[in-house]
Structure 1
Amino acid sequence: MAAAVCAAACTAGLPLAAAQSIPVPLAPDNPAVADQWVNSQIRLGEGTHGVGISLMSAPSTAPSREPIRVKVRVHNEGSEPATGLTLTPRRGPVSGSLTDARAATVAQVGEYAIAGEQVTVPSVPAGGDVEVEVTFSAEEHPTTVTRPVMVVAENAGAIVDTERWHMTVKGTGQGSAQGTSGVDELERTPAGMSVLYPITAPVDIVPGETGEAPNRPPLILESEQLAGQIAPGGRLDQLVDIYAELGAGDETCMAVDPALLDTVARMAGGYTVNDDRPAPAEKRQRLRDSWGSSDSGAGSTPGTGADDATAWLEKIQAAAKDKCVLAMPWANTDLEAVARTGNSWLMREAVERGTFTAERVLDTPITRNVVLPGAGYVTEESVAGMGWADHSQSTVPEVGMQTAWEKASRSNPSDTADRAPDGRVEGEQRSTLDDPAMPNAAGIAAPQPAETVRVLVANNTTNVNSAHSRFTDLRPGVVSVGFDYQLASILATTGPNPETTGFSDDHLRFDYTRDSEVARNTTAATAVRTLANSHVVVGESSEAPEPVLVAPPAAWEPTTARAVMETVAELFRERTSVPMSLEDYMRLPADPAQLIAGAPSLLEADPTVYSDTEVLNASQQGAFIDDLTALLGSDPAIALTQYGYTLPLRQDLLNALTVTGRRSYTGYMEAQQRTRERLNGNRDALAGLRAAINLIPPGNVYTRASESSPLLIVAENGLPLPVDASILYNGPAGAHLNTPAEFRIPARGSLTLQMTADLEDREDQTKLQLYLATPKGQPISQPVDIAVQTAGGAVQNWIIIAGASALFVLALMFQRGKRRGSRGSNGVQAVAQEG
C-alpha cells in the first residue's frame, strides 16, 4: 500500500525543500504554498458532494474473532434530502510500521477489502443528519495487530465520502508471556517508552504592558478564554486531571508553558478584561483638564476567573510535585522566527527564563538545559542560540536579567551611529523601529554552554541518519535528541484544528479534518502501539532496542490525551513497552566519541514558517526595546530596573511569534491575524514610549542676540525611570552645535539644555534637525526641526526690507503725481475751445 501511494503522490511534482521564509503570510489555499499544505492528488472528490460521514464511536481495541460495531453520522449539507446512500465497511492490510499507517490514510478505496455487509442509509433531511450502525465482520489473529479500517459512503455506486482510522485487534494468544508478539517472553525484549505531556494555551495579555516595581503591573486580558480553560471541566483543567490519573509515573514528563503558568498565577491575584490599555507614558493632566473626565478604565470589566486560577494552580502544583517537568520556550514561541530577528535578548527570554518561572510557580525542580522547539526542529540559525538554555550559567534566579544586561552593555561600548564627536550625523536618521533592513540571524549566537544543552527534535531533521543513534552533536555543547517524526506527525493531526508538521512527508499531507476527531484520536493511539511493536527486539541481540519518545502536539485536546495515555498504560501492562524516564531517554553516550557530529537538515517544505514581513516587524520592535533599555538609567530611589521595565514588551513579541495555532490548515489565518494584531499593538505602545521622550524647542525659529548666545531646548521624559541621553543633529556643511555629551532627564520630568552654535555667516536662516539619542548614538526620538538666525543679521535684513519698501512707496507717489498733472492740463484746453 505504501509503495502504491508513493508512486501516485511522488509524481505530483511537490517540492522537497528546506524550510524557508516567505515575503508575506500566505493563506493555505494560495497557489504559492497550497501544495505544501495539501497534496491535491490524494482522496480526490471526498466530501465535495454535500454529504459527509463522521465516526461517532468505535472501540480503539477489539478482541479477535468478534465482530466490531461502530456508529457513523451521515450529515447532509445540501438543500434537498439525500437519498440512495449506502455505507460499506472496508479493511486494509495490517500496518507493520507507521509508514504503512500514514500511507493507508491516503490510499485508494480499492486497496481496502470489503469487511462487512453494506448498510442502506435512511433519507437524510436537508441540513440534517442521521446515525447509522455499521458492523465489521470478525477476524482472527494469533497476535495483536493494528490495521486501517474505513467506512465508505456511496450513492448509486459513486463514492461521496470516506471515514478512516486505525484500530487494534487483540491476538488470540493468552497470558503475558505471549503479549503482542505471540512468542515466549524470554525471546523478546520490549523497548523503553517515555512520554511528553504538554500543557499550554494562548495567553492574550493586552499588548503594550511595561514593568513596575516592587509589584507587577495590573493584569489586563483581552478575553476570558483562558478563564474558561482553567475552570472545572475546561480544557486545561481536564489535562491536569488526566495527567494526575494516567501520567504521574516517571516515564511521563510534563512540558509546561511558562508564559501560561505566569499568567494564571497573576490571574489568581485579580485581573480585568479590556481590549485596550492606558498608554504606557500618558502625559500628566492639569487638574482643570481632568474635570468631568471618566476615561480611566473605560471598557474594563473585572475578571471572573481568579478563584478558578487559584484552584487550578493548586491542582497542577500537586500533580507536578517531585515529578519530571520541563519548560517549553516562553509562550511556545517559534525559535526559528526568534532566531531570524537576530535579537539575542529575545532568544534568551525564549529559552532561559521559563525554567525558573515554572520552578517558582510550581514549587518543584524543573529539568534544566533542555529545549523543546515548538516547530519540532531547529536550523543552523537557531542552533547558534541554543547555548542560552544553559541554565547552569544563568543569573535569572538570583538577580533576573538586569545584571546580564549591564554586563553586556559594559562589554560592548561601541557606538551604533555614524556621528562626529560633537554629535553631528550625516543624512536622514531613523530609529530602529523604522529600520527597513532585514536582520542578521548571527546576532543571537550564544557562548559555548558549560553544561550540555539537549534539544528535542524530530529524528528526520538532521543530516545524521542512524537507526542506532538518536543523538546528533550539532555544535560544541549542543546535542539534538531525536523522536520519531512519523508518530509526532500523526499525533499532531488530532483535535479540532489538526496540525501539519514542517517535518512530515509532504506527499502525505491533506486536510485532516476530512476524518472526524474521534477517528483521528483512535488513529493516534493506535500509532503509539504500532511504533512500540516495531521497536520490540525478538530473539537474542547484543544491542538494546531503541527507545520511543511520544511527543504530542503542544495544544492537544483532553480526548487525545486520554486516548494516548490509556494506550501507553496498556502497553506497559502487556510489557510491549517498559517505562523509561525522559532523563534516561536523553542520557548521552558515556563515550563522547559515540556522538555523531551533524547539522540541522530539513528536507520537507514547511508552509507554517513566519514571513519576512512578520520577522522584520518583530526585529524592529526588539531592537527598539533594546535601545529604550539602554536609554533608561537606574536610580537607587526607584525599585524598578531598566530591563524589568521593558521585559513585558519583549515577552509580547515572543507571544506574537508563538507556534500555537500556526501549523493548522484550518486555523492558520486566525493565528496569523492574532500575530498581526499583537505586533501592531506592541508597535503602537513602543511609538507611545518614543513620544514620551522628546525635545521641545521654545519655537521653531531661534533669533540669537549674538553668535555666542546659547540655544535653549527642553528634553522631556514621561517614563518612570530617568533617561541617560545625548543629542544628535544634522545640518548644512559648516554648521556645528556644541551639544552636551550626555545628560540625565529625571523620571517623569524635564531638563532645559543649553547649546551654542558655530554657524557660517549667512543672511538667511540655518536649518537644523535634532534628535534625542541613546548614549551609544542610536536615535530614539522623533526629529525636531529648528531654524537659527542671529539678531544682527535679522536687523540688517529688516533695514534692507524697510529701505526697499520706502523706495517702492516713493515711486508709487511719483507716478500718481504725474498722472494728476496730465489730467489738469487737458481740462484747461477743453474750456478754451468751448468759449
Structure 2
Amino acid sequence: MTTPRRVGKLPRIVLVLGFLALLAMPTTAPAAAGEPGSAPFLQVRVDSVTPDLITTTSEPTVTVTGTVTNVGDRPVRDVVARLERASAVSSSAGLRTNLDGANDQFQPVGEFTAIAPDMQRGQAVGFTFSYPLRSRTAPSLGVEQPGVYPLLVNINGTPDYGDAARLDDARFLLPVLGVPPDPASTSADALTDVVPPDTTKPVAVTMLWPLADKPRLAPGVPGGTTPVRLMNDDLAVSLAAGGRLDSLLSAVDFATSPPVDPGGDTARALCLAVDPDLLVTVNAMTTGYVVSDSPDGLGAASHPGTGQAAAVAWLDKLRALAKRMCVTSTPYAQADLGALQRVGDAGLDAAATISASDIIDHILGVASLRGATVLGDGPLTPAAVDLLGSQGSTVAIAAANCSAQDSATGEPMTADVTPRRVAPKVVVAPFDPAVGAALAGVGTDPDLPTYLDSSLDVPLDHDSMVARRQDAIASMLWRALQPSAEPRQQILLPPLKWSPQPSDAQSMLTALATTIRSGLAFARPLGDVIREAAQAGPGPGPDLPRDTRGGFDDDVVSTVNGQNGRLWGLTAALTTDPRTGLTGPQYTAPLREDMLRALSQTEPPDERNDLARRRLGVVGATINDLFGAVTIVNPGGSYTLATEHSPLPLAVRNDLAVPIRVRLQVDAPPGMTVTDLGEQEIPPGYLPLRVPIEVHFTQRVAVDVTLRTPDGLQLGEPVRLSVHSNAYGKVLFAITLIGGTVLAVLVGRRLYHRFRGQPDPADLDRPRRASAEGHR
C-alpha cells in the first residue's frame, strides 16, 4: 500500500525541480547562429596593420594585430578567429559598402585560429595574423595586382546557453600601390616578380587641409569689448603643443618643408582652408581673454583664460607657413549657405563669403586665393547656389551625388567628379563623397557628413581609429589605382572641423606624397582647379539635394532675419568714435558674426537647432540692450516756460561705445509748435539739447518725446514731460517794464527835489508837521 503513494509523489518532485531549474536559467534569450547583433557578446578591434600602405619595396608580409573583448553578459567558449579578404574595390561606393552589411564577398585567407578556450565577462585577449600578400606554397592574401582590398577579421565563439556563432567582425581597407615579390622567389626572379602600378593615366590631385573649429567666442558681446570672452577654454588645449590644431598645422608644415618635399610637389597639391572665425578668435586670444564660468558658455561671469601664449605661437607659425603655400578661406564659421539664402540678407551673405577672405588677408598678412567656395560639411543645395550666384562667379567645391547602386542599372556607383556649371555664375568642382566620408571618420572625433547618401552610411562607433585611418588612406588612393575611373582628377576635402591624431595626419600626407612620387598622381594647385572649372559648361548630373540632414528650422531662420534687420538699422545710425577709432560696423560686427556662428555646420546635426536658438537668444537680448542704451533722460518733474518762445531743455544719454545719429520726435499738443532739430550726433556719455518751441496757450500739458534713428527705429523708451506754459508772457513783461520805469522816474524826481532843498510838489497837498503839532 505504501508503494503507490511513493509513485504518486514522484511527478510532483519532478515538477518542483523543473521549476527551480527554470528560475536558475538566464532570462536573456540565446543568440542564434549568425545573429550576433541581437545580443553582443564579443567585440573585435584592429590595433595595427603593418605595413599600412603596400608598395613594391614594402615587406611582402602583412601583419594584423587586434584585441577581442567579451562585452556580453556571460562567458564565451571556444573563441576562434580568421582573416578574410574580398576582391579589389571596383567602384567608389564600394569603399563604403564593403565596410558594413553583407559579408559574402569575403573569402578566408587561412583556417580559424584559436584565440581563447574560455573568455569571462570583460576579459580581453589579443591576436595576431601574419600572411604574405601572395605565395605559391602557403596561405596568403592572394593579392596579385595593385588596388584597394577589403580585409575582415571574423570572430566566432559559443556563448553560454547558446550555439556556436559568428559573434563579431572588424573590417578595413588595405591599399596596394604595387605588389612586392613573392617571399619564396629567388633573388634572380625578385625583380621580374614585382607588379608595379599602372602610371600611364596619373590623377591630378588637389587636397585642401582644413584649419577650423567650432565657434568659441561667447555670443552677445559687441566689438571694442576687451578682453574678449570665450565660451570655454578648449581652444587653448587645441592650440597648445600636441593639440588638435597644433598637430594639423605641424603635420602640413613638416610635410611641405624643403628637406621633406624637395621638389615642392606636395606643397603644390595642398591648400590651407582656413576658417576666418577661428582666426578672429585666436587673434583676440593673443591679447588676453576670459572664459565664461557657466557650463553652456552663455553666462557673463568669467575667469582668465590660459591659452594666450599658445595662441601667439600658433598664429605666428601659421603666418610663416601661409607665406610659402596656398591659403583660401572657408565660409565664416562654416555657416550653412542654404539657411543664409533663406534669411535673405545680402550683407550677411557677404559677411559669410566675400568678407571672409578679407579677414584671412588682414590677420595673416597674405593674399589668399579667391574664386572658390569650400563646402566641406554639407551638400551644395539649390538655395546655396542661388546665394553664390548673386555674389559673382565662383567655383563651389562640394560633394558629388553618389549612392550605393545606380537606380537605373543596379550596379555599384562611382561618383562623377567632372566639373559642371549649375548656374550662370556657379561651377561645381565635385569631390567623391565616399572619400570625404572616409576622411571624416579619421581621428578621435569621427563624423558622418550630412552630404553622404544614407546607402553609404557606415557605423563609426565600432571600428578602431587604426581601421578608420586605413579606410581613409585607401580611399584617397583608390582613384589613382583604378585606371578606368574617369575623370582623372580628384579633390580631397576632409570635414572642416577635422580631428586626426598626429599619426593620422602624418600617414595621410605621406600617402599623398607617395602617390605623387610613384607617378600615380601629379599635383594640381587649387588655382588651376578654379581656372579650369571656370571653363566648364552645363553638364548632366543628378539634381542638387534639397532636404538635408541637419538643416536649420524655419524659426531659427526667421529669428536670424529679424535680429539682423534690427542690427543693420542700428549700425546705419552709428558713426566713428574719434578717441578710439572704433567704427559703427566694427562695433556691431561680432553680433552679425554671432548669427553666422548660430548657423554653423560644425555642431552635431541633431543639436544644431537647439544650440542656434540659445545663441540667438543671447544675441537678441544684447541687441535690445543696445537699442535701450540710447535714451532721453527723464527729469521726473515738470518744466515751466518763461515765455511762449522758451526752449525745451532735454538731455540724451548714450551708453554705447560709439557716437550715434538720432532724431527727436516730439509729439506736441495743438497750439504748440516744435522746431525740428534734424539729425543730432550723440557721443558716448551725455549731451544736453534745447528744443525751440512756440506756445500759444496758457496751461499745463503733456509732451511725449521719442528718440529714433534717422531711419525711424525707436531708441530707448519714450519720455512724457509735464510742461507749464504761459502765452501772455510778453504782455506781463511789458507791464512790468513800464511799471518799473514809472517807479524809477518818481523816485528820481523825489531825490532831485530833496537834494535841492525843495519840497516835492507831490507833497504840497499834505499838512505840515509843525501845524499839526500846534493844534494838539
TM-score of the aligned structures, taking structure 1 as reference length: 0.68
Counterpart in 2 of 1:504?
Answer: 452
2:278 aligned to which of 251, 254, 260: 260
Question: C-alpha distance in 2, partners of 1:158/1:76?
Answer: 14
- Structure 1: stretches of 5+ with no match in the other structure: 1-42, 281-294, 388-444, 538-543, 793-835
Counterpart in 1 of 2:341?
Answer: 339
Counterparts in 2 of 1:760 and 1:130: CA distance versus 1, 3 Å = farther
Counterparts in 2 of 1:181 and 1:611: CA distance versus 1, 3 Å = farther
Counterpart in 2 of 1:271?
Answer: 289
Counterparts in 2 of 1:231 and 1:178: CA distance versus 1, 3 Å = farther
Counterpart secondary structure, 2:171: strand
Counterparts in 2 of 1:635 and 1:235: CA distance versus 1, 3 Å = closer
Counterpart in 2 of 1:288?
Answer: none
Counterpart in 2 of 1:772?
Answer: 707
8 A contact 1:223–1:274 mirrored in 2? yes
Question: C-alpha distance in 2, partners of 1:177/1:361?
Answer: 56
Question: C-alpha distance in 2, partners of 1:729/1:124?
Answer: 86
1:624-673, CA deviations, whole angstroms, 9 ceiling, x for partnerless residues?
2212212223455552111111112222222232222335xxxx43x655
Determine whether 1:630 maps to 2:572. Answer: yes
Counterpart in 2 of 1:35?
Answer: none
Counterparts in 2 of 1:760 and 1:348: CA distance versus 1, 3 Å = farther
8 A contact 2:328–2:357 mirrored in 1? yes
1:330-354, CA deviations, whole angstroms, 9 ceiling, x for partnerless residues?
2222222333222222221211233
Counterpart in 1 of 2:111?
Answer: 117
Question: C-alpha distance in 2, partners of 1:473/1:193?
Answer: 21
Counterparts in 2 of 1:131 and 1:685: CA distance versus 1, 3 Å = farther
Determine whether 1:489 maps to 2:437. Answer: yes
Counterpart in 2 of 1:314?
Answer: 316
8 A contact 1:631–1:725 mirrored in 2? yes
**Equivalent position amino acid for 1:73 in 2:** T
1:139-171, CA deviations, whole angstroms, 9 ceiling, x for partnerless residues?
233321212122233443334433221112465
- CA displacement at 1:518 relative to structure 2: 1.7
Counterpart in 2 of 1:546?
Answer: 488
8 A contact 1:322–1:364 mirrored in 2? no
Question: C-alpha distance in 2, partners of 1:86/1:631?
Answer: 75
- CA displacement at 1:609 relative to structure 2: 1.5
8 A contact 2:571–2:585 mirrored in 1? yes
8 A contact 1:87–1:134 mirrored in 2? no
1:362 aligned to which of 361, 364, 387: 364
**Equivalent residue runs for 1:6-85 within 5 Å:** 46=37, 49=40, 51-59=42-50, 60-62=52-54, 68-78=62-72, 83-85=77-79
Between 231-240 and 165-174, the greater mean CA deviation after superposition: 165-174
- CA displacement at 1:372 relative to structure 2: 0.8
Question: C-alpha distance in 2, partners of 1:55/1:576?
Answer: 29
1:397-420, CA deviations, whole angstroms, 9 ceiling, x for partnerless residues?
xxxxxxxxxxxxxxxxxxxxxxxx
1:97-144, CA deviations, whole angstroms, 9 ceiling, x for partnerless residues?
211222212231334223333244445554453333345651233321
Answer with 1 or 2: which has the greater Rg: 2
Question: C-alpha distance in 1, partners of 2:722/2:696?
Answer: 9
Counterpart in 2 of 1:521?
Answer: 469
Counterpart in 2 of 1:723?
Answer: 660
Question: C-alpha distance in 2, partners of 1:733/1:93?
Answer: 93
Counterpart secondary structure, 1:133: strand
Counterparts in 2 of 1:46 and 1:321: CA distance versus 1, 3 Å = farther
Counterpart secondary structure, 2:430: strand
Counterpart in 2 of 1:533?
Answer: 481
- CA displacement at 1:704 relative to structure 2: 10
8 A contact 2:328–2:368 mirrored in 1? yes
Counterparts in 2 of 1:586 and 1:773: CA distance versus 1, 3 Å = same
Counterpart in 1 of 2:374?
Answer: 372
**Relative contact order (alpha carbons < 8 A, sep ≥ 6): 1 or 2 greater?**
1
- CA displacement at 1:785 relative to structure 2: 7.5
Question: C-alpha distance in 2, partners of 1:598/1:634?
Answer: 52
8 A contact 1:228–1:234 mirrored in 2? yes
8 A contact 1:219–1:266 mirrored in 2? yes
8 A contact 1:101–1:527 mirrored in 2? yes
**Equivalent residue runs for 1:241-640 within 5 Å:** 241-247=250-256, 248-275=266-293, 299-301=302-304, 303-386=305-388, 445-446=390-391, 449=392, 452-460=393-401, 470-535=418-483, 546-559=488-501, 560-588=504-532, 592=535, 595-596=537-538, 601-603=543-545, 605-634=547-576, 636=578, 639-640=581-582
Question: C-alpha distance in 1, partners of 2:194/2:326?
Answer: 29
Determine what percentage of the aligned residue pairs are the same residue: 25
Counterpart in 2 of 1:140?
Answer: 142
Counterpart secondary structure, 1:385: helix
Across the aligned residues of Structure 1 and Structure 2, the Cα RMSD in angstroms comes to 4.3
**Equivalent residue runs for 1:142-221 within 5 Å:** 142-156=144-158, 157-169=164-176, 171-172=178-179, 188-212=200-224, 217-221=226-230
8 A contact 1:473–1:595 mirrored in 2? yes
Question: C-alpha distance in 2, partners of 1:511/1:630?
Answer: 50
Counterpart secondary structure, 2:587: helix
8 A contact 1:487–1:531 mirrored in 2? no
- CA displacement at 1:176 relative to structure 2: 11
Question: C-alpha distance in 2, partners of 1:778/1:470?
Answer: 50
Counterpart in 1 of 2:102?
Answer: 108
Counterparts in 2 of 1:329 and 1:758: CA distance versus 1, 3 Å = farther
**Equivalent position amino acid for 2:497 in 1:** A
**Equivalent position amino acid for 2:278 in 1:** L
Counterpart in 1 of 2:758?
Answer: none
Counterpart secondary structure, 1:232: coil
- Structure 2: stretches of 5+ with no match in the other structure: 1-33, 132-138, 159-163, 182-189, 257-265, 403-412, 727-776
Counterparts in 2 of 1:92 and 1:467: CA distance versus 1, 3 Å = closer
1:240 aligned to which of 226, 240, 249: 249
Counterpart secondary structure, 2:375: coil
8 A contact 1:326–1:355 mirrored in 2? yes
Counterparts in 2 of 1:732 and 1:46: CA distance versus 1, 3 Å = farther
**Equivalent position amino acid for 1:487 in 2:** V
